[in-house]
Structure 1
Amino acid sequence: MKKDNYHVLDSTFAQSLTNIIAAELNQNIIICDHHGIIIAAFDRKRISQVHEGAANMLYSGNIREFSISPADEKRLKNVRRGYDVPIVVEGRCIGVIGVTGEPEEVAPYARLAARFVQATLESNSRQQKLVQALKEKEELQSILLYKIIDVQEEERKKISRELHDEISQSLTSIIVGLRVLSEQVCGSKEQKFVLEMRDVVSKTLDNAHRLAVELRPALLDDLGLVAAAQRYIENYSRQYGITTDINFSGLSRERFRPEIEITLYRILQETLTNIAKHAQAANVKVSLKKTRREIHFSITDDGIGFTPKSLRTACENSSLGIYGMRERVALLAGKFTIQSSEGAGTTVTVVIPLQDTRDNTISSNQ
């Protein structure tokens, strides 16, 4: 059947039905389309001929069963003695099926064949409608997920700027004020207290800076993925004492589409965080390469790795981070894979096409 019309007979499909029915009933079968043209027949020579009996019935608008008598066989073109039954699907006549023979004898066979064709077409129609509905649901989910991620990123950017511009400035002013106050107090006890408070505020300022960078680093928007990733990896190495090897293949000034950059940056954050928490790794390699058509991004550690079972469990059930990474990459029509074995480390690989191949529906709803 044609993809966009559930109620149009396809000739190849009709011929397969004809072969099945003819073999089951041991009768000569023809199927005509909604114009009365024979599109399938046990005798292939009849294909493409206009069955005048079927055509007359269809064009009259009086949809009914009819027989072909010996007189009709002589009077009408391309007909043979037998019995013909309209094929009606969901209230619409989409063709005619005919069985050759004595009309009284073959009428039950013709009706049985018509019911078989109708049931098959209705089943296919329901299946195709279900597939189409599922596809539309998946497209809608993709649009919704893309919108959610976009809103999240905008909110992260807003909070990051507030932390950097407003809260950091306020905390810096407090630190300066406490330093001045420590020089003005008289007692050593009071001075020590003020200096301790200054240290607390200073640590809070450092945490605010770190949180602002984790939420949305200004480097990512200003200079791009490579610069932001390098800064994040350097800070990560200092914080956790993990040796890092960065290979960005001469991409220091390369910029990609914003959705690609933020996706790869979030995957970098999530993966490195998981390594620090769970992998017990000493070394991490981060690689970013660009081909003519794709971006290849990988993160490899020398940690304890996963067993195949625990990896499947992490991917399918317990790890929202892995699920989130996979969904982000899928929105960009990319591939996300994890390779790991117990005691041999883990590699996370992402491949994203440079050309925007996402569904037009997503693009048009941004």
Structure 2
Amino acid sequence: MELDPRFAQSLVDIVAAELNQNVNITDNHGVIIASFSKERISHIHEAAARMLMSGPIREFSVTDEEERRLKGVRQGFNVPIIFGDCCVGVIGVSGEPAIAAPYARLAARFVEAALESNARQEKLVRALREKEELQSTLLNKVISVQEEERKKISRELHDETSQALTSIIVGLRVLSEHVHSDGERQKILDMRDLAVRTLEAVHHLAVQLRPALLDDLGLVAAAQKYVENYSRQYNIQVELSVVNISRERFLPEIEITLYRILQEALTNIAKHAKAAQVQVTLRKYRGKLLLTIKDNGIGFNADILSGAASDTCLGIHGMHERVALLSGNFYIDSTEGEGTGITVEIPLRRRKKTESGLGQAH
């Protein structure tokens, strides 16, 4: 454990102002690291160095004769600074030793108390940081597990359920050609139509869970397909602009995060915004991926994102948490009657090469 010179100097300034005396602090080797007389800093306090090297840690006074004989020493009284069962330095107060002694002891206790307070604060900050890191790790793990489960279910729906429904549709069509009653044929065709609608619903659900395009062709292709389907489903005009990105691939966690934010934001617009137009921009700029989503809807009071009402905005907070896991920034700006804008900035990192050889460094 060592005294920080800047911290020690701030303590010297406080103590010297309170005592109206010259004050200095040495480190645990007797080197002056803080002093009311700035020219003494970095000098050896020979009396303190001798005491520290002798073994026994004790208080000591400096006489007139010692001031003349020893280097970096002034008449006064000096007290060890004890912290964590160790001597981390010496504090000295100038003046007649008998008069300076109580002030030096008081100053040493003040410094020790300040060190203990600072250590407690650092411990609390460290504990808070560890807690936040653990929360981030757990949240990241939860999101990863969710995405893997989404991918698995989506693949099963696409490969197994969709194929089974397709077989049923074909079978019903063949069966309808072998019945002679018009009524029976119509019932079979109605069942076929129901199976077709179910297949479409299953396909839509599979895409919502995890679009194959996202894994196969990347963020841009998946976003373009999602916007196309969204505009057709909700009759909302969405203009997607892609800037400085062609067929580039990015880290999977970056791609899925931006895709989920686009998905969540457009879903919120369809549910709440009453918008007719949406402008989406995906841009690579100065080592970052920027996603902006702006609608011309009714907007809302952004104050509800803080305080008690924030519990109703879990979708927005979920987007914010996803971005924070990637050390990115999330901004939302909304005014009642003037629409809502969302901006996401995610720093790019070096992409590892994939087994397929498609990995690129960006």
AA in 2 matched with 1:153? E
Task: Please give the root-mean-square deviation of Cα atoms over the aligned residues, in Å.
Answer: 2.1
* Structure 2 residue matching 1:248: 3-state secondary structure: strand
Of 31, 38, 47, the match for 2:32: 38
**Cα-to-partner distance string for 1:131-153 (whole Å, 9 max, x where unaligned):** 22222222222222222212211
**Cα-to-partner distance string for 1:45-89 (whole Å, 9 max, x where unaligned):** 332222222112211221111222345445543323322110001
Where in structure 2 are the equivalents of 1:250-265 lying within 5 Å? 251-265=245-259
AA in 2 matched with 1:283? Q
AA in 1 matched with 2:62? I
**Cα-to-partner distance string for 1:23-48 (whole Å, 9 max, x where unaligned):** 21122212111001122222333322
- How much does 1:10 deviate? 2.0
Where in structure 2 are the equivalents of 1:217-296 lying within 5 Å? 217-249=211-243, 251-296=245-290
1:135: which partner in 2?
A: 129
1:210: which partner in 2?
A: 204
User: Which 10-residue stretch deviates more, 144-153 or 162-171?
Assistant: 144-153
2: distance between equivalents of 1:178 and 1:335? 53
**Cα-to-partner distance string for 1:91-123 (whole Å, 9 max, x where unaligned):** 111001112222222211110000111111111
Distance 1:242-1:314 versus aligned 2 partners, 3 A rule: farther
> Is 2:283–2:291's contact at 8 Å kept on the other side of the alignment?
yes
AA in 1 matched with 2:153? I
Gaps of 5+ in 2: 352-362
> Is 1:314–1:322's contact at 8 Å kept on the other side of the alignment?
no
- How much does 1:315 deviate? 8.3
- How much does 1:348 deviate? 1.3
2: distance between equivalents of 1:44 and 1:220? 64
1: distance between equivalents of 2:305 and 2:58? 63
**TM-score using structure 1 length:** 0.90
1:53: which partner in 2?
A: 47
2:9: which partner in 1?
A: 15
AA in 2 matched with 1:126? R
- The reply to whether residue 101 of structure 1 matches residue 90 of structure 2 is no
**TM-score using structure 2 length:** 0.91
Distance 1:69-1:260 versus aligned 2 partners, 3 A rule: same
1: distance between equivalents of 2:268 and 2:350? 29
Distance 1:122-1:312 versus aligned 2 partners, 3 A rule: closer
AA in 2 matched with 1:120? A
Gaps of 5+ in 1: 1-6, 358-366
- How much does 1:285 deviate? 1.5
Distance 1:252-1:56 versus aligned 2 partners, 3 A rule: closer
Distance 1:116-1:218 versus aligned 2 partners, 3 A rule: same
Where in structure 2 are the equivalents of 1:53-202 lying within 5 Å? 53-202=47-196
> Is 2:244–2:284's contact at 8 Å kept on the other side of the alignment?
no
**Cα-to-partner distance string for 1:288-345 (whole Å, 9 max, x where unaligned):** 1222422221111111111233455698331211111111111222221111111111
1: distance between equivalents of 2:50 and 2:305? 67
2: distance between equivalents of 1:156 and 1:169? 19
1: distance between equivalents of 2:98 and 2:308? 68
1: distance between equivalents of 2:17 and 2:265? 61
2: distance between equivalents of 1:124 and 1:356? 39
Distance 1:315-1:325 versus aligned 2 partners, 3 A rule: farther
2: distance between equivalents of 1:271 and 1:315? 19
1:336: which partner in 2?
A: 330
2: distance between equivalents of 1:266 and 1:244? 17
Aligned residues: 351
1: distance between equivalents of 2:128 and 2:140? 18
* Structure 2 residue matching 1:228: 3-state secondary structure: helix
1: distance between equivalents of 2:315 and 2:9? 51
User: Which 10-residue stretch deviates more, 256-265 or 273-282?
Assistant: 256-265
> Is 2:294–2:341's contact at 8 Å kept on the other side of the alignment?
yes
AA in 1 matched with 2:192? R
1: distance between equivalents of 2:308 and 2:248? 34
- The percentage of counterpart residues that share the same residue type is 64
- How much does 1:212 deviate? 0.6
Distance 1:309-1:20 versus aligned 2 partners, 3 A rule: closer
Distance 1:311-1:302 versus aligned 2 partners, 3 A rule: farther
> Is 1:332–1:356's contact at 8 Å kept on the other side of the alignment?
no
2: distance between equivalents of 1:84 and 1:311? 57
* Structure 1 residue matching 2:88: 3-state secondary structure: strand
1:362: which partner in 2?
A: none
* Structure 1 residue matching 2:74: 3-state secondary structure: coil
2: distance between equivalents of 1:322 and 1:126? 35
> Is 1:315–1:323's contact at 8 Å kept on the other side of the alignment?
no
> Is 2:288–2:347's contact at 8 Å kept on the other side of the alignment?
yes
